[in-house]
Structure 1
Amino acid sequence: MKEKVLFICLIVLMLAGCSYSPVPQLNKNKNTEKNLSKEESQESMKTFLLIGVDSRGEEDSRADAVILARYFPEQQKLKLASIMRDSYVKIPGYKYGYNKINAAYYYGGSELLKKIIQENFDVKVDHVAVIDFKGFVKMVDLLAPDGVMVDVNQEIIDDMSIEASTGKNVLHGEEILKYVRFRHDDESDFGRVERQQEVLVQLKTGFINQISSFEGMVALPSIIEKGMSYLDTDIGMKTIMEMGSQVVFQSPDSVETLRIPVEGSYKDEIYPQSGAVLKMDYSKNKEALQEFFSR
């Protein structure tokens, strides 16, 4: 049986979008200046759903990486919240009522995933980006052509047949995919989520560094055009181009991460239709996600 794989759904092109703020810049020299209220700032921010699917082009696939991203322009802070693939959630229209969140993409694609996140966690998704294994490998090499520095141990090297030595290594597309797929240790999917977020942040940085020169800015349209061919998204090319041009000037100074379910808010259960799941305390996790995205 094919191993279910959780990998990073990264599109730093989407993170460029998270760095794009539609809030008008206020002229600080005018006496009429007024600060935006917290509510107005929240309304202006967009939430991006990044979905990684466990396929190399096949039609039937599951969402093994589910990441919510939101940028806070005033604090120049990016927030990433990963929802564990085995999270047991209510699925609208599903005959059993509940199943793992990674099954939702198989049943109803990104639109169903958006509904699930809205109904289970009260988070409205504004835009979606989906990427599969092939696209991920190409995207890594596009956005970080010099590779990504990661720390690998012998267990990961042996299990995933990674060509590396223990300790810090610079890895490229296929090897990075193996690195973020690894799950056969005591940390299981929890460690894999940490590696997702780790590499996602590094790819964001690599992308920003790549386009932070005159030559990089000139190359930006072609980078975006290539990147768009690797993913399925509801954002048009024109909007992506506008977003990409902003990332150099509004790139986040810091990145904060969260994992759902949060510590102490779930227990392991087994259900006939789902297998092993993480049964969550919904009120605790909804509250944690709401608090994370509100400050």
Structure 2
Amino acid sequence: MRYDKRQQEKKVKRKRKKRLLKTTVLGLFLLMAVTFGYAYFQYKQGINKAGEKSTINQEVFEFNGEKDRYGGTNILLIGSDSRGEESARSDTIMIAQYHPKKHSYKLISIMRDSYVDIPNHGKNKINAAFALGGPELLRQTIKENFNVDVKYYAIVDFDGFIHLIDEAFPNGVEIEVEKAMSAYLDVPLQPGLQRLDGAHLLSYVRFRYDTMGDFDRVKRQQKAMKEVASQFASFQTLSKLPKLVGVMKPYVNTNMDTSDIIYIGKDYLSKENRNIETFRIPVEGMFDTDRINGIGEVLTIDNEANAKAIGEFLAK
């Protein structure tokens, strides 16, 4: 009798454990379903909010990108000056690297007047590659000249940039404007610490008519990117991320999956150390200025030295 009673008690305990396990699994499943459902709802809400204002061409370009040999995920960032026109040169060329194991973030600016070999098109300014063959030819050009692989691309035009900043930062992006800027700008700027909306921030990152020209412009672009990332992290929460990605999507032409964008953004928001290291190509002392008939002023580059420098920057 005692044996039967013990056996019965064991059966009851096993049944309770099974019920508890089923309840736990079901609870986790429901929690995941609610979480993903809410994230998808937020994402779609963001897309619907921004979609009507979008001007960027959403054509999916051929892009034979490869993973970076240093273990990072490299994204080719292209600022297009097309405003809807075809065969436009890239106004801004950057490579953003996210390293999932190091949790590091790096940003490389490639000056648009860099005189390089464009595959099957001879030598020209690097920004001509985008006009001649889209992001894929630009990717090939970067690989051939600097031995850097990029896996993804992201293109944003001027109008898209303005709407993107205004949607993500309704109160503007706080920036210290170093000096008055007005030459060839639709929206002039005055010096001082201020909050810039999309149109004013576009003026800030595009201005280049001073003594240092494109060199100072690249510095301002990197400064603006770091400020945007920092201020984004200061007021955004993980729960808002899907909606913001939805808001961004109509303004950016990219071959990145939404899940990849959210994953990288989630990692950035969840870390306390969000330092973004910056770099510029060509490196100081590794180029000369020249004038080429039919092309204009260019930066003639020591390819080998610059490729080595960029490799060391990405590897560290």
TM-score > 0.5 by shorter chain = yes
For 2:205, the equivalent position in structure 1 comes to 180
Q: CA deviation at 1:43?
A: 4.6
Distance 1:84 1:164 in 2: 23
Distance 2:124 2:310 in 1: 20
For 2:232, the equivalent position in structure 1 comes to 207
Structure 1's unaligned 5+ residue stretches are 1-40
Matches within 5 A, 1:93-172: 93-94=120-121, 97-157=122-182, 160=185, 162=187, 165-172=190-197
Matches within 5 A, 1:221-236: 221-236=242-257
Distance 2:160 2:193 in 1: 25
Distance 2:103 2:239 in 1: 25
- The question of whether the paired residues in 2 share the 8 Å contact of 1:157 and 1:164 is answered with yes
Distance 1:221 1:178, change over 3 A: same
Distance 2:245 2:177 in 1: 30
User: Greater CA deviation, 238-247 or 284-293?
Assistant: 238-247
User: 1:86 aligned to 113, 121, 141, which one?
Assistant: 113
2:210 is aligned with 1:189: no
For 2:4, the equivalent position in structure 1 comes to none
Distance 2:273 2:155 in 1: 22
Distance 1:63 1:180 in 2: 14
Distance 2:299 2:94 in 1: 17
Q: CA deviation at 1:135?
A: 0.8
- Relative to total residues, which structure has the larger helix share, 1 or 2? 2
Distance 1:186 1:62 in 2: 23
Residue identity opposite 1:143 in structure 2: A
User: 1:261 aligned to 282, 288, 291, which one?
Assistant: 282
SS of residue matched to 1:58: coil
Distance 1:273 1:130, change over 3 A: same
User: Once the two structures are superposed, what CA deviation does each residue of 1:140-167 show, in whole Å capped at 9, x if it has no partner?
Assistant: 1223222122222443157646565422
Q: CA deviation at 1:45?
A: 1.7
For 1:50, the equivalent position in structure 2 comes to 77
Q: CA deviation at 1:210?
A: 3.1
- The question of whether the paired residues in 2 share the 8 Å contact of 1:85 and 1:102 is answered with yes
Distance 1:276 1:114, change over 3 A: same
Distance 1:232 1:252 in 2: 29
User: Greater CA deviation, 43-52 or 129-138?
Assistant: 43-52
- The question of whether the paired residues in 2 share the 8 Å contact of 1:99 and 1:273 is answered with no
Distance 1:87 1:278 in 2: 5
Write out the 4+ residue segments of structure 1 that deviate beyond 6 Å after TM superposition.
none
Structure 2's unaligned 5+ residue stretches are 1-67
Distance 1:137 1:251, change over 3 A: farther
Number of paired residues?
249
User: Greater CA deviation, 269-278 or 106-115?
Assistant: 269-278
Distance 1:226 1:47 in 2: 23
2:303 is aligned with 1:278: no
SS of residue matched to 1:47: strand
Distance 1:276 1:157, change over 3 A: closer
Q: What TM-score comes out, normalization by structure 2 length? A: 0.73
2:267 is aligned with 1:246: yes
- The question of whether the paired residues in 1 share the 8 Å contact of 2:288 and 2:301 is answered with yes
Q: Percent identity?
A: 38
